[in-house]
Amino acid sequence: MKSLKLISSAIAMLICFVSMAQERTITGIVTDETSMPVPGATIINQNSKANYITSFDGKYSIQAKKGDMLIFSFIGYKTQRQRVENLNTINIQLFSDTQTLSEVVVVGYGSNDSEYESRNYARAEKRKEKKDISQALKGKVAGVQVQSNAGYMASPSPSIAIRGAVSVSPKNEPMYIVDGVAIKADQMAKINPNDIDNVSVLKDVAATSVYGSKASNGVVVISTKNELYKNLSEKELDKKLNQITPIRPVEPTQEDYDAFTENAFESPKTAPLSTFSIDVDNASYTNIRRFLNNGQEVPKDAVRVEEMVNFFKYNYPQPKNEHPFSINTEVSDSPWNSQNKILKIGLQGKNIPTDDLPASNLVFLIDVSGSMSEMNKLPLLKQSLKILVNELRPNDKVAIVVYAGAAGMVLPPTSGNEKKTIIKALDKLEAGGSTAGGAGIELAYKIATENFIKSGNNRVILATDGDFNVGSSSNSDMEQLIEEKRKTGVFLTCLGYGMGNYKDSKMEILADKGNGNYAYIDNIQEANRFLGKEFKGSMFAIAKDVKIQIEFNPKQVQAYRLIGYENRKLRPEDFKNDVIDAGELGSNHTVTALYEIIPAGIKSDYLNVQPDDLKYTQTETSSNNYSGELATIKFRYKKPDGDKSIEMVQVINNKSVSLDRASDDFKFSTAVAWFGLKLRDSKLISDKSSEAIAELAQQGMSFDKGGYKAEFIRLIETSEQYN
């Protein structure tokens, strides 16, 4: 009996040890102090060294045994440690790290003072601004680092923390002494940086022994030329500083945008066919958002109305036939020209389940040149691509190519199952050197072609600020190069980063000519949206070379114009020419196009002089058979790996509903277009009231899962403050 008890005890202990040693899956969500998910956070199993990066919604999954220690970390947050016990779900909340910083950090807005060539592009704000106070401090003190805000305008005063100083206040701010006078943080922003002669930093005992307990966070000591602020009273100091206008952050002095003229009204008698390529890019909208959030005027040619409209998702039905997208049309009143009509054309791409998506052969082509050193460039880029890496499956593979003065491969094609290896390669990247973009493109396409997956998703993902300046750097050179590479069957995704010297014109050419799409990543939330939530639509094409051709009935339509798509227009003969490139459509993507119509018999100030009836050319329909039709639309597309296009045809009846009875999608999409036309200062709209635009958007604000439509209304209100 005694031996039986001993055996039972031994078995119980063995079971206990086995259960403790058994590895299992731990899942959870990482959030911040506001309970919002933290994407891109790192979870490391301290015992097994396994790691994981949280997805766009803050979720993670990692293998661990009971007793293992999990470490949760993210830039700017305190690291949390949690030991694995009996629960399989561990949710962690991270809190901002405001107590200690590892070095002197000046958070401000950088500007690039280098001269730039004269080119035939529109530029935003060509004038140069003087450096701000944060830039004046850069390089003056050992260990000082200037960081750019990743897309948003912060307080005009720089935020400075001193290495090793433990805060006694939530802001962790040091003391500021200028010419022997103590000043406040907000007064620092008003100092003319050109007046500064010398900067030094005191900390610990050296600071408190001179300035007392107020200096426990350290002291920044500034001497100006001619001691401008010496012996001034606080009132005199305020008066002197208020005479200086604070300097605006990061003016886009070297940003390039292709100039274009908006589409005019055309007569169906003289121009019976309107032909264009679809456009799924939405870089223009996020770039506009960046300008408005920074309190800056939006450059006219940065506004591409179709990209604004297509940033948003609309509630179109899934296709029910053999074609990869459904076609949806609607006609209602124009909100900005009351006598006119708007025709909305909406495409809804088929939603392909993740398990049915083809294997991916991806090449990350990353710009690591010197211009990428700012926080909203390479550091944000690396965090963005980690989100994409987290979406990869074991049958996917990724290679990494970088370019600066030259191009090189830093990671050979690696399985999506080896996320730790891919992320480690990303973390090692640093910025420096000139920008040989052409050489990088050549190498990236070479690797993608060598590892080509038949019927797979073969794609180069280019991440850059677009500032190519070595080798094939002109727009014509880049266009010729990318058109040649398009023939390989490899798709292209362009991710734009940064501000001040951003080259939108080059990014637009690369995406348009390279079977590609283009997004501007202004912050980590946009990276989550484009590379996380919309991963399938952004990275997996279900149709390519999608073209639209519409013929309006002159009995019903006096004139028409396509709103936006200026750089996507095609010649009528290009529609059936399978050699001509057009846009791609991704899984579950929506595409929307709007036409403004002047109905027959309406007198309009926007009409050009109309021609008389032609003697030798038939300009009217020969019978009344089509009197009930407004237009006929034709679509052509190719399968992702095909080279022969497939045609679809749909007739639009001449039936219009009043604006108050139009769908929410119609109201919101036209509100977005209206706002874009206002930003471009269009001469073809009579009503430019921001209140009316916001009201229409509010009426159509349904199907707003991510809150982006609500944000749009806020941007309308913001624009009124700065324009």
3-state secondary structure 570-596: ECHHHCCCCCCCCEEEECCCEEEEEEE
Domains of the chain by start residue, with CATH: 25-93 (2.60.40.1120), 104-241 (no CATH), 312-352+543-553+563-610+629-722 (2.60.40.1230), 354-539 (3.40.50.410)
| CA gap 716, 594 in Å, rounded | 20
* Bridge partners for 83 per DSSP: 69
For the stretch 343-370, pLDDT in tens is 999 999 999 998 899 999 999 999 999 8
Burial class (CB in 10 A: 0-12, 13-18, 19+), 720: exposed
Identify the H or E element spanning 520. strand 516-520
Packing angle of the helix pair 378-390, 419-427 (nearest 10 deg): 180
In the block, tokens 């005479």 appear at 243
Which pLDDT value is given to residue 422?
A: 96
For residue 229, give the nearest of 268, 182, 275, 274 by alpha carbon: 182
The distance in angstroms from the start CA to the end CA of the chain is: 92
Residue ranges in the chain modelled with pLDDT below 70 = 1-21, 56, 75-76, 97-173, 185-186, 188-190, 202-216, 231, 233-253, 469-474, 609-624, 722-723
Identify the H or E element spanning 668. helix 664-679
| Planar angle of CA 528, 384, 514, nearest 5 degrees | 95
CB 165 within 8 A of CB 223: no
**Beta-carbon neighbour count of residue 299 at 10 Å?**
22
C-alpha separations of 151 from 68, 109, 125, 275 in Å = 38, 10, 18, 36
| 3-state helix, strand and coil shares in percent for the chain, rounded to the nearest 5 | 30, 25, 45
Identify the H or E element spanning 62. strand 59-65
Identify the H or E element spanning 711. helix 708-722
Packing angle of the helix pair 708-722, 690-699 (nearest 10 deg): 170
AA letter at 283: A
Dihedral sign (CA 520, 522, 526, 532): positive
CB 464 within 8 A of CB 502: no
Residue 498 tokens read as: 């940064």
Backbone φ and ψ for 499, nearest 5 degrees, come out as -150, 160
Dihedral sign (CA 416, 418, 420, 424): negative
Q: Report DSSP state, residue 532.
A: I
Dihedral sign (CA 569, 575, 581, 587): positive
DSSP-derived secondary structure for 253-293: TT-EE----PPPPB-TTT--EEEEE-----HHHHHHHHHHH
* Bridge partners for 63 per DSSP: 25
DSSP-derived secondary structure for 246-257: PPPS---TT-EE
Which pLDDT value is given to residue 620?
A: 56
CB 518 within 8 A of CB 507: yes
Q: Provide the 3-class DSSP secondary structure of residue 305.
A: helix
| CA gap 49, 47 in Å, rounded | 6
| CA gap 692, 334 in Å, rounded | 13
- HSE-up of 169 (CA within 13 Å, CB side)? 12
CB 32 within 8 A of CB 80: no
C-alpha separations of 135 from 255, 371, 426, 613 in Å = 20, 16, 28, 66
Please compute Rg for the chain using Cα positions: 29
For residue 597, give the nearest of 295, 334, 316 by alpha carbon: 334
| CA gap 465, 248 in Å, rounded | 21
| CA gap 367, 351 in Å, rounded | 32
Task: Output the pTM of the full model.
Answer: 0.70
**Beta-carbon neighbour count of residue 139 at 10 Å?**
11
Residue 282 tokens read as: 């939405």
Which pLDDT value is given to residue 214?
A: 64
CB 363 within 8 A of CB 388: no
CB 126 within 8 A of CB 64: no
Burial class (CB in 10 A: 0-12, 13-18, 19+), 487: exposed
Which pLDDT value is given to residue 482?
A: 87
Q: Report DSSP state, residue 337.
A: S
Buried b (16+ CB within 10 A) or exposed e, 629-650: bbbebbbbbbbbeeeebeeeee
Strand 92-93, strand 23-31: pairing: parallel
